[in-house]
């Protein structure tokens, strides 16, 4: 049993405490019959010959079984196999059972917030009459270890970093700190959202007196100036302009120019090439502490030098991609040529629509 009793109890407690009718617009016997063969299950009441009869008797006729008894004791949802438990959740969200999309969205958020702890998520797999149908799937294992020392938006000389406590990996930037940002708050289970980043930015001494809208605008501009190439700026600008309004507080933060590795030496100080490949990622999204998505925008420098093809550069790049994927990162690459004015915006929008669906990020469109 991979879905723990703790997770199951959290979900069932929510359904009971919130007075959610789990069967939606169906009768309970009809709903439960979508999950179990009630007519073949034995009755717990000697007067009846099947579970369908005793459930009807005690839930409808006598009404002497409460929700907790039915779900946790009679149906054993705390201890049944994962397939039965997830089928129960899938049917709670099914459009035949629950046609109201706002109700489905609210339940989906609760279910997924709980299931993520055990490596599961409910994802849309198809539609029925334009309404989503969800299925429980396993999450990839993601990256081991918690996010710490998120150094990003570098727009000047490399920061000089020292370990002030090598036991706990606490760092301090001792030079060029003004050219980068350091997010030092814990990453919650919902990942790092844009609203989290704005809240952190609003605490900076030179920002506190501004209105929240101005704080957000300044943060956006500060992140934008860390990007050097037009394709990177188009991707970042399109993401923010397209999804900020419609996603609201659910918008994941698209973090630019994030240090992945750190080599204290500069390129001029290295005599045999770089010790560490790809010290910075173009963009990073954190869908949770462990679900990390890297976006790279490839210009000519990724595969050529002096207008000559460089297979060694390409080989180094794909080798590092393999290493990161094996470590649990998701990596997606854009060719800089794709991200041109006119066609680039649609490519970016379509990509993030698909990525959000993959990671069950709820984006409401007007």
Does the pLDDT of residue 223 top 80, yes or no? yes
Sign of the four-CA dihedral 361, 362, 365, 366: negative
CA distance 349 to 356: 11
> Based on C-alpha coordinates, what's the Rg of the chain?
25
Range scoring the smallest mean pLDDT among 90-104, 157-171, 184-198? 157-171
pLDDT mean over 336-358 = 92
Residue 358, pLDDT score? 83
Who wins on pLDDT, 278 or 110?
110
Q: Please, what is the average pLDDT of the chain?
A: 85
Residue 169, pLDDT score? 61
What six digits make up the tokens of 190? 């919902």
Contacts 24+ apart (CB under 8 A), 358-362: 358/123, 359/121, 359/287, 359/291, 359/293, 360/108, 360/112, 360/121, 360/122, 360/123, 360/124, 361/247, 361/250, 361/252, 361/287, 362/105, 362/108, 362/109, 362/250
Does the pLDDT of residue 150 top 90, yes or no? no
pLDDT mean over 40-44 = 91
- Residues 6+ positions from 346 with CB-CB distance below 8 Å: none
Range scoring the smallest mean pLDDT among 117-126, 146-155, 232-241? 146-155
Residue 28, pLDDT score? 94
Residue 319, pLDDT score? 86
Who wins on pLDDT, 271 or 24?
24
pLDDT mean over 211-233 = 93
Does the pLDDT of residue 366 top 70, yes or no? no
Who wins on pLDDT, 65 or 360?
65
Does the pLDDT of residue 303 top 70, yes or no? no
Let me know the angle formed at the C-alpha of 116 by 113 and 118, rounded to the nearest 5 degrees: 130
Residue 170, pLDDT score? 67
Give backbone dihedrals phi and psi of 311, rounded to 5 degrees, phi first.
Answer: -55, -30
Q: What percent of the chain has pLDDT over 90?
A: 51
Residue 270, pLDDT score? 42
CA distance 259 to 123: 31
Residue 31, pLDDT score? 96
Domains of the chain, by residue range, sit at: 5-138, 150-358
CA distance 9 to 90: 17
Give yes or no for a contact between 259 and 279, defined as CB atoms under 8 angstroms apart. yes
How far does Cα 167 stand from its chain's mean position? Answer: 30
Residue 125, pLDDT score? 85
Give backbone dihedrals phi and psi of 151, rounded to 5 degrees, phi first.
Answer: -105, 125
Residue 167, pLDDT score? 58
Residue 265, pLDDT score? 47
pLDDT winner (highest mean) among 30-44, 142-156, 164-178 = 30-44
Residue 93, pLDDT score? 96
Residue 165, pLDDT score? 61
Residue 136, pLDDT score? 92
For 46-63, the DSSP string reads TT-SSHHHHHHIIIIIS-
pLDDT mean over 89-117 = 93
Range scoring the smallest mean pLDDT among 26-40, 71-85, 295-309? 295-309
CA distance 87 to 158: 51
Who wins on pLDDT, 193 or 326?
193
Does the pLDDT of residue 236 top 80, yes or no? yes
Residue 317, pLDDT score? 81
pLDDT mean over 86-107 = 95
């Amino acid at each position: 049993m991979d879905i723990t009793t703790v997770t199951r109890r959290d979900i069932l407690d929510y359904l009971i405490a919130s007075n959610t009718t789990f069967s939606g617009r169906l009768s309970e016997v009809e709903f439960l019959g979508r999950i179990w063969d009630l007519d073949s299950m034995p009755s717990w009441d000697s007067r009846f010959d099947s579970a369908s009869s005793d459930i009807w008797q005690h839930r409808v006729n006598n009404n002497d079984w409460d929700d907790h008894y039915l779900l946790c004791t009679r149906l054993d949802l705390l201890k049944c196999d994962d397939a039965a438990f997830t089928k129960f959740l899938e049917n709670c969200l099914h459009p035949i059972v629950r046609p109201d999309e706002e109700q489905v969205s609210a339940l989906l958020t609760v279910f997924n917030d709980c299931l993520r702890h055990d490596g599961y998520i409910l994802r849309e797999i198809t539609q029925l009459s334009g309404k989503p149908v969800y299925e429980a799937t396993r999450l990839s294992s993601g990256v081991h270890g918690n996010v710490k020392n998120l150094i990003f938006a570098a727009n000047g000389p490399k920061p000089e970093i020292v370990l002030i406590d090598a036991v706990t990996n606490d760092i301090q930037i001792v030079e060029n700190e003004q050219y980068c940002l350091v997010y030092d708050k814990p990453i919650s289970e919902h990942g790092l959202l844009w609203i989290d980043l704005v809240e952190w930015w609003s605490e900076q001494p030179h920002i506190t007196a501004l209105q929240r809208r101005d704080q957000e605008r300044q943060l956006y501009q500060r992140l934008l100036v860390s990007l050097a190439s037009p394709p990177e700026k188009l991707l970042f600008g399109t993401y923010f302009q397209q999804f900020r309004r419609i996603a609201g507080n659910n918008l994941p933060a698209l973090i630019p120019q994030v240090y992945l590795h750190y080599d204290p030496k500069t390129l001029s100080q290295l005599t045999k090439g770089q010790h560490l490949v790809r010290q910075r990622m173009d963009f990073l999204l954190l869908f949770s502490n462990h679900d990390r998505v890297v976006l790279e925008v490839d210009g000519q420098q990724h595969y050529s030098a002096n207008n000559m093809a460089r297979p060694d550069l390409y080989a180094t790049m794909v080798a590092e991609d393999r290493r990161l994927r094996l470590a649990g990162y998701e990596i997606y690459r854009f060719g800089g040529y794709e991200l041109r004015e006119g066609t680039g915006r649609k490519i970016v929008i379509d990509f993030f629509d698909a990525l959000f669906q993959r990671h069950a990020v709820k984006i409401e469109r007007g």
